[in-house]
Amino acid sequence: MSWDDFALAFFSLDILRQACPILLSGLVQTLLLSAMVVPLGLFGGVLLALLATVRSPFVRWPLMAWVDVFRSLPPLVLLIFVYAGLPFAGLEVSAWGAVAIGFFLNTGAYYGEILRAGIESVPAGQVEAARSTGLSRGQAMAWVVLPQAVRNMLPDLISNTLEVVKLTSIASVVALPELLFQARQAQSVTFNATPIVAAAVAYFVLLWPVVRLLSRLENRQLAGRR
Amino acid sequence: MTGWERFADSFLNARVAAEYLPKIVEGFGLTVVLALCIIAAGLAAGLALAVVRSLGVRPLNWLIIFAVDLFRALPPLVVIALFYFGLPAAGLSLSGFAAAWLALSLVLMAFSEEIFWAGITAVPKGQWEAARSTGLGFLPTLRLVVLPQALRITIPPLTNRTIAITKNTALASVVAVPEILGAAQAGVSFGFNPTPLTLGAAAYLVLFLPVVVLGRWIETRFAWKR
Amino acid sequence: MAAIVRAHGIHKHFGALHVLRGVDLEVAERELVFVIGPSGSGKSTLLRCLNRLEEPSGGRIEVDGIDMLDRRTDINRARQRIGMVFQSFNLYPHMTALGNVALALRQVLKLPRGEAEGRARAALERVGLADRAGHYPGQLSGGQQQRVAIARAVALEPRVMLFDEPTSALDPELVGGVLQAMRELRESGMTMVVVSHEMGFARAAADRVVFMDHGLVVEQGAPEAVFGAPREERTRAFIRQIDRH
């Protein structure tokens, strides 16, 4: 295969021009999807992390089981289960609805773990000092614990958010017309790999700055761990 | 039929379960094989890249950093699609299994290189100097002094990352690999009953729940020794 | 003199461990009580029970007329009247010295920002750190951090101050500044309960010394009596050990 053939198959400007509108619409859907599932997952995570501050074993153990079950199920399995399974129970869900439920369960469990670890990373003396000056449990949480926790867990939060944005690509499996789905459509119509390559480039351009930032933060964190 | 009976008939149907269980078990075997292949290739390649990076050859390092960033930024499903749907345009056809294996190994390579590298840089310079001053060469120093210390601190993040990427084997169902999810989905469309999905979810829990719990245990154990 | 702290029959269990076995402690207004004893004697636990950072397993505690163990007591309001200073300072690392002192003034006393910061600044001035108001804890020495912690407690104008080994985490050359701040507090008439090994300070400033061992008060009295002529053998042994250092 000559270089020209190769370029034609993967980097054809002609094909790119044709596929551009549909790819752009996919990109918009991917961004909308991310704007929905990241807050949704964070919301689920905050709920779980707040529940984790309850010390009763009747809360703690079921909570841990919940988190571990949804961290064990691959997100795609969860999504298919909701999308293809629930209609059999008489519950029709749209692709968007299925993605929302699946991500709430999966992403929420991951965010929940990160938030919990962040809260626990703040020394007990901090809460004691706050309570000794008369701050309530909630005030101590809001003013003393959370600001420190967020700083400690920032790399993990960013890293998880990156993974969530990448994960939106599985919505293509339930025919939600996001970037990967549209690229596949374009590819199957044109019999040319350029649309998929273009989609990959779009993801890379979008997420590369985040990866750079993260790798800097993580290096610092691991080095500080010794 | 009561609601529960209808639910059980759909999701926990013994007849359907018996019929499709063998397929799910086969899928389970395939998932395990695929996962092990990914772990072996991904971790080996990641460690190799980290070692090469420690040699400090500038252009080589830029190349490594670019490859790592690339596979951290791209969604795994996009990489799989690129290999499976894209390569045939270059006259190169990969099986679904090979495409999933190659794609996920590259992703794991990227993430593990980053972690291994952070571990190596976290070992103080004095360790290198002490070993070199006793006449040890570069590679023996790396292998006998630096890596043992580096690997220890990389174990918790590496375990969690490896689990997360291994769970992506479910994505192989998209490229027609009859692993657990693929087998389950085939069962649903042939049997017109979602019980195979329930079985599939259960199979994933059997496979990953122990690993997730192990990861949690490793994290607390290593945190303790800090 | 009226007692401002009345603790009677305080018990505390940690699982199978019986850390306090019926301790009585009364502190009069403007009195400085020094609590000494070997590690594990329960002196810090007693202090932490007084503002209910630890929940006593039994007994009665009254501070400034408020029943501390009554379920109906608003514990957050009660704690405003009881300042506490910790061994490890426990300053909030994400806030400046001024922010540390002002937090409770704004959130608990609900003072407007300007007034809270004014009072916080005055409290920092009292411990000689007005010029460090904008510094973060990480930029301060251990001694300065502890003085900020004292200011944080004093700013709430408490009726009693509890000190839990305030100088044991400090390098020797930094102890003086903290003791100076405590001395000035004492001269202003503050009621204080101090758990510490600073025997020189105890001799000079304490009204009464309480010696604890194995969860009980073994002996108490004026400093010259307890240090000079201890009645109990356990007290004598402990003081001999401390003096050797």
Domain ranges of chain A: 3-224
Query: What's residue A217's pLDDT?
Result: 83
Q: What is the 3-state secondary structure (H, E, C) of B81-138?
A: HHHHHHHHHHCCCCCHHHHHHHHHHHHHHHHHHHHHHHHHHHCCHHHHHHHHHCCCCH
**A89 in B contact zone (CB under 8 Å):** yes
Q: Which stretches of chain C sit within 8 Å of chain A by CB?
A: 51, 53, 76-80, 82-84, 86, 88, 90-94, 103-104, 107-108, 149, 152-153, 156
Alpha carbons B197 and B12: distance in angstroms, whole number: 10
Domain ranges of chain B: 20-224
Question: Does residue C176 form part of some domain?
Answer: yes
pLDDT in tens, chain A (226 residues): 677 777 777 788 888 888 888 999 999 999 999 999 999 999 999 999 989 888 888 988 999 999 999 999 999 999 999 998 888 877 888 999 999 999 999 999 999 999 998 998 899 999 999 999 999 988 999 999 989 998 889 999 999 999 999 999 999 998 889 999 999 988 888 888 889 999 999 999 999 999 999 888 876 665 554 4
Are the Cβ atoms of A132 and C92 closer than 8 angstroms?
Answer: no
The CATH code for residues B20-224 is: 1.10.3720.10
Show which of residues 22-61 on chain B sit within 8 Å of chain A, judged by CB atoms. Answer: none
- Establish, for the pair of chains A and C, how many residue pairs have beta carbons separated by less than 8 Å: 65
Question: Does residue C86 form part of some domain?
Answer: no
- Domain boundary among the residues C134, C157, C180 is at C157
Tokens of C22: 């019926």
Alpha carbons C45 and A52: distance in angstroms, whole number: 27
The whole domain housing C105 covers: 92-157
Residue in C with minimal Cα distance to A129: C90
- When scoring C50, C82, C103 by the number of chain A Cβ atoms within 10 A, the one with the most, hence best to mutate, is C103
Both C116 and C76 in one domain: the answer is no
Are the Cβ atoms of A131 and C82 closer than 8 angstroms?
Answer: no
Question: Does residue C87 form part of some domain?
Answer: no
Taking the CA of residue B226 and the nearest CA in chain A, the distance in Å comes to 7
Q: Is the dihedral of CA B125, B127, B130, B136 positive or negative?
A: negative
Of the candidates B10, B82, B180, the beta carbon closest to that of A89 is on: B10
pLDDT in tens, chain B (226 residues): 566 777 777 788 888 888 888 899 999 999 999 999 999 999 999 999 999 998 888 999 999 999 999 999 999 999 999 999 888 877 788 999 999 999 999 999 999 999 999 889 888 887 887 887 777 778 888 888 888 888 888 888 898 889 989 999 999 999 988 889 999 888 888 888 888 989 999 999 999 999 989 888 887 777 544 3
From the number of C-beta atoms within 10 Å of its C-beta (0-12, 13-18, 19+), residue A177 rates as middle
Both C128 and C7 in one domain: the answer is no
Q: Is the dihedral of CA B168, B87, A173, A43 positive or negative?
A: positive
Tell me which chain C residues have a C-beta less than 8 angstroms from the C-beta of A147: 94
Place of tokens 């007005």: C130
Around Cβ B40, how many Cβ atoms within 10 Å?
12
Tell me which chain C residues have a C-beta less than 8 angstroms from the C-beta of A133: 79-80, 83-84, 103-104, 108, 152-153, 156
Residue in C with minimal Cα distance to A147: C94
Both C143 and C178 in one domain: the answer is no
Alpha carbons C220 and C206: distance in angstroms, whole number: 12
Both C70 and C9 in one domain: the answer is yes
Label the pairing between strands C58-63 and C66-67.
Answer: antiparallel
Are the Cβ atoms of A143 and C107 closer than 8 angstroms?
Answer: yes
- Domain count along chain C: 2
Q: Using alpha carbons, list the distances in angstroms from residue A54 to A59, A63, A119, A126, A169.
A: 7, 10, 13, 18, 36
Q: Each residue of C47-88: pLDDT tens digit?
A: 999 999 899 999 999 999 999 998 888 888 888 899 999 999
Task: Give me the CATH number covering residue C41.
Answer: 3.40.50.300
**B82 in A contact zone (CB under 8 Å):** yes
- Say whether the ipTM exceeds 0.95: no
Around Cβ A112, how many Cβ atoms within 10 Å?
26
In this complex, the chains that touch A, judged by 3 or more CB pairs closer than 8 A, are B, C
**B86 in A contact zone (CB under 8 Å):** yes
Q: Using alpha carbons, list the distances in angstroms from residue A87 to A80, B199, C161.
A: 11, 17, 65
Percent of chain A clearing pLDDT 70 (strictly above): 96
Question: Does residue C67 form part of some domain?
Answer: yes
Architecture of the domain spanning A3-224: Orthogonal Bundle (1.10)
Both C128 and C236 in one domain: the answer is no
Query: What's residue B116's pLDDT?
Result: 93
Query: What's residue A222's pLDDT?
Result: 57
Are the Cβ atoms of A81 and B174 closer than 8 angstroms?
Answer: no
Tokens of C124: 């920092």
Tell me which chain A residues have a C-beta less than 8 angstroms from the C-beta of C79: 131-134
Query: Are A26 and A198 contacting, i.e. CB atoms less than 8 angstroms apart?
Result: no
Q: Which stretches of chain A sit within 8 Å of chain C by CB?
A: 123, 125-126, 128-136, 139, 143-144, 147-148, 151
Spatial CA neighbour of A157 closest among A204, A118, A205, A200 = A118
